[in-house]
Amino acid sequence: MSDLRSLGHVIGILLASLGVIMLLPLAADLISGNGQWPIFAFSAAVTAAFGLIVAISSASQATQTLTRRQSFLLTTLVWLVLPLFGALPMMLGPSGLTFTDAFFEAMSGFTTTGSTILTGIDALPEGIKLWRGLMQWIGGIGIIVVAMVFLPEMRVGGMQMFRSEGFETMGKILPRATEIAKQISIIYLGLTIANALAYSAAGMNPFDSAVHAMTTMANGGMANYDASFRDFGEAAHYVSATFMILASLPFVRYVQLVGGTSKPLMQDSQVRVFLAIIGVSVTVIALYLARFWHGFSEIAFRESLFNSVSVLTGTGYASADYEYWGPFPGTYFFFLGLIGGCAGSATCAIKVFRVQLLFTSIRTQIQRLHSPSGVFVPRYNGQPVGDDVLDSVMAYFVAFVLALGITAVLLGMTGLDFVTSISGAATAIANVGPGLGHEIGPSGTFTGLPTVSKWILSAAMLIGRLEVLVVLALFTAKFWRE
C-alpha cells in the first residue's frame, strides 16, 4: 500500500490538538479547587507530546492528497486513536476506571453514542464532566466533516448523492476538508453558544449549560447527572428538543443559509420527512401517554416531544424511564432510534435519506410488477437516482442488519439475556445511547456488563459511527493489495 505517513501526520496533528483541548477541563478543575487538575496536566502532556512526535516525524512525507484507500484507513484510525488517549483522564481520575471501562466511555463519547459506564456522575469533578462533554462535541463536528468530505468521496452507503452539495472534494481532499471544517466549526460553535445561552435562560447554571450544550449539539446525550434530564425544568426540555432537532439537520444547509439562500433547506425532502417523523412520533406517544398516564396535559406532550426527539436523533437524553410506560413505547422507540436524522449532521443510525430511498426502490419495484413493460425511474428530491446509489444503499442496509445481528449474537454468547443483547447491539450500532431492560435501559448503565461485552459494544459503536462499510472494507484482502 502507498505511504501511510500522510495519515500519521494528520493523526499526529489531531492528537496534539486534543492535548491542547485537555487544558480546558484542567482549568475547570483549577477554578473549582477540587485538586484534580494534575490528571489533565499529565494526560495533556502525554497526548500532545505523542501527537507532536508523530506529526513531526511524518511531516517530510506528508502530502495534500489521499487515495480512496487512505481515506478509509484515516477515518477509522482517527476514531480508534482519539478514544485511546481520551481514556487517559478516565483511568487516572477519581472514578478509577479500568482500561476497558475508560476506553468504552471514551469511545462512547467520541462516537457520540452516549452509553455510559459511570455511576455517581453527580459527584464527579468538573474536569471529568467537562471532558465527557468535550469528547462528544469533538466527535460531533468530526463526523459532520467526515460525512461532508470523506463519505461522498468514498461512495459509502449512497453518500455519493451529496458529493456536489458537500462541496467538490475530488483531488486535494485534505485542504478541502480543512476549508469545510472551518465553515462548519463557526456554525457549530455558534449554535452551541446559542444553545448554552438558551439553557441558562431556562434555569441551568453556567457550567451545566455549557456541557449540555456540547452534548446536545453533538447529538451525544452524556449528561452531568445520573438522572440525565429528569430534574431539569420544563423550559430546559423544550430548549433541548429544539436544539437536538437543529443538530440533526444537514449542516451544508446552514452553510448555504449563511450564504444567503434558504431555498435548499426548504426544499430538502429529507428535512421535510425528518420533521414529519417527529410530528407523527410526538403525536402517537402523546396520545398514548394521555390515554394511559397523564391525561391530555402539557406533561404528556412534553414527555413525548423530548423523548421522541432524543431517541430519533440518537442523542439519548432521558426525562423519564419510558420502559415504565408499558411495552408499546419501548418497542416504538427501539425502531425509531434506528432511523436517525439527516445526512451531513451530527446524528447517527441509518439516516432518513436511506429510508426514503428504500421505500422509493420498493415502490418502483411494485410498479414494475404491475406494468412489466413500463419505465419507472426512482427519484430523490425530484432527481433520478442511479443504480450505483441504490446498490450502495441496499448494501448498507444489508451490512447494517448483519452487523446488528452478529453483535447481538456475540453479546448473547457472553451471557446477556435476549433483550439486553438485541437492544445493546442496536444502541451501539445506531449510536443511540440507552438500550432496553433493567440493566442498560434509560435508568441503567453499562457498568455491570462482562468485560468482553464492553469490547464488543465498543467495536460496534465504532462500526456504526463510520457507516459500517467503512470499517468492514478494511477486513478485505483486496483493500490491502496494491
In this prediction, residue 124 carries a pLDDT of 92
Asked whether residue 197 is domain-assigned, the answer is no
Asked whether residue 351 is domain-assigned, the answer is no
Query: What whole-number distance in Å separates Cα of residue 430 and Cα of residue 424?
Result: 10
Asked whether residue 314 is domain-assigned, the answer is no
CA 327 vs CA 185, 331, 419: distances in Å: 41, 6, 12
Q: How far is CA 213 from the centre of its chain?
A: 15
| Number of domains the chain is built from | 1
Provide CB contacts within 8 A for 312, sequence distance 6+: 248, 277, 278, 281, 336, 337, 339, 340, 341
In this prediction, residue 40 carries a pLDDT of 95
In this prediction, residue 176 carries a pLDDT of 61
3 state DSSP class of 419: helix
Asked whether residue 203 is domain-assigned, the answer is no
Asked whether residue 407 is domain-assigned, the answer is no
Q: What is the DSSP letter of 150?
A: I
In this prediction, residue 58 carries a pLDDT of 80
What range does the domain containing 57 cover?
A: 5-182+226-231
In this prediction, residue 151 carries a pLDDT of 72
In this prediction, residue 164 carries a pLDDT of 52
Provide CB contacts within 8 A for 435, sequence distance 6+: 115, 420, 423, 424, 426, 427, 441
Mark the ranges of the chain whose per-residue pLDDT is less than 70. Answer: 1-3, 61-65, 153-178, 481-482
Asked whether residue 320 is domain-assigned, the answer is no
| Tens digits of residue pLDDT in 216-234 | 999 998 999 988 898 899 9
Asked whether residue 348 is domain-assigned, the answer is no
Q: What is the residue whose three cell numbers read 461512495?
A: 155
Long-range contacts of range 252-256, CB-CB < 8 Å, 24 or more positions apart?
A: 252/148, 252/162, 252/165, 252/166, 252/167, 252/344, 254/187, 254/191, 255/183, 255/184, 255/187
In this prediction, residue 1 carries a pLDDT of 42
Asked whether residue 176 is domain-assigned, the answer is yes
Query: What whole-number distance in Å separates Cα of residue 394 and Cα of residue 386?
Result: 13
Indicate the pTM of the whole model: 0.90
| Tens digits of residue pLDDT in 92-106 | 988 778 999 999 999
CB 6 within 8 A of CB 63: yes
